[in-house]
Amino acid sequence: MYSLKEESAKIKLLKSQVDDYWNRHSAQTTLFYAAIVILVLLFGLLFMVLRAFWLHKRHQKELVEQNKLLAQQRDTEKKLNEQLNAATQSKLVFFTNVSHDLRTPLTLIAEPVEQLEMADYLTPQHHALIKIASKNVKILRRLINQILDFRKYENGKLTVNLSEVHIAELMRDWTESFTAIARKRDIKLNIDIKIESSATLAIDVEKIERVFFNLMSNAFKYTADNGKIHLVCTCDESQLIFSVEDTGQGIAMDDLGNIFDRFYQVDKIHPNGSGIGLSLAKAFIELHGGSIDVESAPGKGSKFTVKLPVRHVCDNAATNVSRLITDSEVNAELGDIELETVNEGDDKPLLLIIDDNADIRKMIRELLSAEYRIIEAANGKDGIRLASKYVPDLIICDVMMPVMDGLECCRRIKDEITTSHIPVLMLTACSMDEQRIQGYESGADGYLSKPFNSKMLSMRCENLIENRKRIKNLLGANQDVKASAPKAEERPSVPEAQPDIDNEFYARFVELVNNEMGNPDLNIDTLAAKMGIGRSQFYRKIKALTNYSPVELLRKMRLTKARELLATTDRSISEIAYGVGFSAPAYFTRVFREMFDESPSEMRTRLGIKD
* Highest mean pLDDT out of 75-79, 172-176, 301-305: 301-305
Tell me the per-residue pLDDT of 556-579, one tens digit each, with 9 for 90 and over. Answer: 888 888 888 877 787 887 888 877
Q: By C-alpha distance, which of 397, 391, 396, 346 is closest to 372?
A: 346
Average the pLDDT over 157-181 and give the result. 83
The 3-state DSSP class for residue 397 equals strand
The answer to whether residue 491 scores a pLDDT higher than 70 is no
Percent share of the chain, pLDDT over 90: 3
Could you write out the DSSP letters of every residue in 190-215? EEEEES-TT-EEEE-HHHHHHHHHHH
Residues 6+ apart with CB under 8 A from 466: none
What pLDDT is attached to residue 485? 37
Tell me the per-residue pLDDT of 108-130, one tens digit each, with 9 for 90 and over. Answer: 677 777 777 777 777 777 777 77
The answer to whether residue 538 scores a pLDDT higher than 80 is no
* pLDDT, greater one: 104 or 424: 424
Q: What share of the chain is helix, strand, coil (3-state, %, to 5)?
A: 60, 10, 30
Alpha helices in 516-549 (DSSP H): 524-531, 535-546
Query: In angstroms, what CA-CA distances link 350 with 227, 408, 434, 534, 540?
Result: 32, 22, 30, 19, 11
Average the pLDDT over 442-464 and give the result. 83
What pLDDT is attached to residue 245? 92
The answer to whether residue 285 scores a pLDDT higher than 80 is yes
DSSP at 223: S
What pLDDT is attached to residue 233? 92
Angstrom distance (rounded) from CA 595 to CA 552? 11
Cβ contact 173:323 at 8 Å: yes
DSSP at 230: E
The rounded mean pLDDT for the chain is 77
Rg (Cα) of the chain, in Å, rounded? 44
Please report which confidence band the pLDDT of residue 353 belongs to, taking 50, 70 and 90 as the band edges: very high
Amino acid at 382: D
**Per-residue b/e over 550-561, b at no fewer than 16 CB within 10 Å?**
beebbbbbbbbb
Element (H, E) at 41: helix 2-117
What pLDDT is attached to residue 269? 37
The answer to whether residue 492 scores a pLDDT higher than 50 is no
What's the predicted TM-score (pTM) here? 0.52
* Highest mean pLDDT out of 22-26, 305-309, 377-381: 305-309
Please report which confidence band the pLDDT of residue 162 belongs to, taking 50, 70 and 90 as the band edges: confident
Backbone angles phi, psi at 188, to 5 degrees: -80, 105
HSE at residue 147, side-chain half, CA atoms within 13 A, is 21
The 3-state DSSP class for residue 306 equals strand
HEC states along 399-413?
Answer: CCCCCCCHHHHHHHH
Average the pLDDT over 399-408 and give the result. 82
What pLDDT is attached to residue 115? 76
What pLDDT is attached to residue 230? 92
Q: By C-alpha distance, which of 280, 297, 135, 295 is closest to 212?
A: 280
Q: By C-alpha distance, which of 541, 544, 578, 561 is closest to 479?
A: 561
What pLDDT is attached to residue 498? 41
Query: In angstroms, what CA-CA distances link 145 with 135, 212, 277, 286?
Result: 16, 16, 11, 19
The answer to whether residue 153 scores a pLDDT higher than 80 is no
What pLDDT is attached to residue 430? 65
Angstrom distance (rounded) from CA 204 to CA 486? 88
* pLDDT, greater one: 444 or 131: 444
Angstrom distance (rounded) from CA 164 to CA 319? 6
Percent share of the chain, pLDDT over 70: 78
Amino acid at 546: T
Please report which confidence band the pLDDT of residue 490 belongs to, taking 50, 70 and 90 as the band edges: very low
What pLDDT is attached to residue 352? 92
Query: In angstroms, what CA-CA distances link 427 with 212, 372, 437, 459, 523?
Result: 34, 18, 14, 14, 40
Backbone angles phi, psi at 163, to 5 degrees: -145, 145
Angstrom distance (rounded) from CA 185 to CA 194? 26
HSE at residue 509, side-chain half, CA atoms within 13 A, is 29
Number of residues written out for the chain: 611
Give the domains, in start order, of the chain with CATH numbers. Answer: 159-334 (3.30.565.10), 350-468 (3.40.50.2300), 480-607 (1.10.10.60)
* Highest mean pLDDT out of 232-236, 325-329, 542-546: 232-236
Average the pLDDT over 287-295 and give the result. 88
Tell me the per-residue pLDDT of 304-334, one tens digit each, with 9 for 90 and over. Answer: 999 999 888 866 555 665 556 666 666 656 6
The answer to whether residue 508 scores a pLDDT higher than 80 is no
Could you write out the DSSP letters of every residue in 338-381? PPPPP-TT--SPEEEEE-S-HHHHHHHHHHHTTT-EEEEESSHH
